[in-house]
Amino acid sequence: MSVRDPDVRKILCRELENERNGDPSCVVVEEFGLCQHSARVDVLVVNGTLHGYEIKSEVDNLDRLPDQQSVYNKILDRVTVVAADAHLRQLLALVPPWWGVWRVDAKGGGAEIEKVRLEAQNPSIDPHSLVQLLWRDEAIALARECALDSRLLRKPRSIIWDELAKVLSVDDLRLRVRDAIKKRFASRWIVRSQSRGG
């Protein structure tokens, strides 16, 4: 029996119930677009971290992984790749040591996950990439909170993003971005991502 993307998503979402850690504001978003990049992470869990999960089923290849890795490494606090056994050896050689690696194996009409390597904290978040997760209205609200010049609020959002990345520490920005995404998808546990706000 081959393990396909829907099989992996089903077992992954079941596994992610544990990610909530008693946090009722935690959300899980499928197919979450990452700022101005073309990359989308298969599943994003937003609680105390931004934790991205990338699925590589048996029918997938790893051709896009270097580009995905370049984007994920700038933005996500933690990354776990959830992959069919056929990809395991190559993945362990390709991805950074702080990425988690989970193996999915077909078992009698279903699938099981084995956590081969646990994820660690991303050592190098890029604030200019991270801030681009904010929609325009979210960026404007944060600029007001930070008491930035009111003339800035009429500027293109790229300029607002740049100013926010300058005035906020990476840790503060991580917190503000997480809070904005939680509010955006408030009270929904697993949601399909929607198009970006202006």
Task: List pLDDT tens digits, range 82-138.
Answer: 998 889 999 999 999 999 999 988 766 667 888 999 999 999 999 999 999 999 999
Task: List pLDDT tens digits, range 40-89.
Answer: 999 999 988 999 999 998 888 899 899 999 999 999 999 999 998 889 99
- Answer yes or no: do 67 and 152 share one domain: no
Q: Is residue 29 part of a domain?
A: yes
- Answer yes or no: do 24 and 95 share one domain: yes
Residue with tokens 């009409």, as numbered in its chain: 109
Q: Mean pLDDT for the chain?
A: 86
Asked if the model's pLDDT at residue 181 lies above 70, the reply is yes
Quick one: tokens of 18? 């544990």
Question: Residue 19: pLDDT band by 50, 70, 90 thresholds?
Answer: low
167 contacts 160 by C-beta, under 8 angstroms: no
Helix 136-145 vs helix 170-184: angle between axes, to the nearest 10 degrees? 130
Query: Domain range holding 46?
Result: 5-117
- Answer yes or no: do 165 and 89 share one domain: no
Burial of 21 (0-12, 13-18, 19+ CB in 10 A): exposed
Give the DSSP letter of residue 154: G
The phi, psi pair for 99, rounded to 5°, reads: -75, 140
The phi, psi pair for 165, rounded to 5°, reads: -65, -25
Predicted confidence at residue 190, as pLDDT, reads: 62
Q: CA 160 to CA 142: how far, in whole Å?
A: 10
Q: CA 96 to CA 159: how far, in whole Å?
A: 32
Residue 3 is which amino acid? V
- Answer yes or no: do 75 and 9 share one domain: yes
- Answer yes or no: do 113 and 131 share one domain: no
Predicted confidence at residue 104, as pLDDT, reads: 87
Task: Name the pairing type of β-strands 50-56 and 78-84.
Answer: parallel
Residue 44 sits in a domain of what CATH number? Answer: 3.40.1350.60
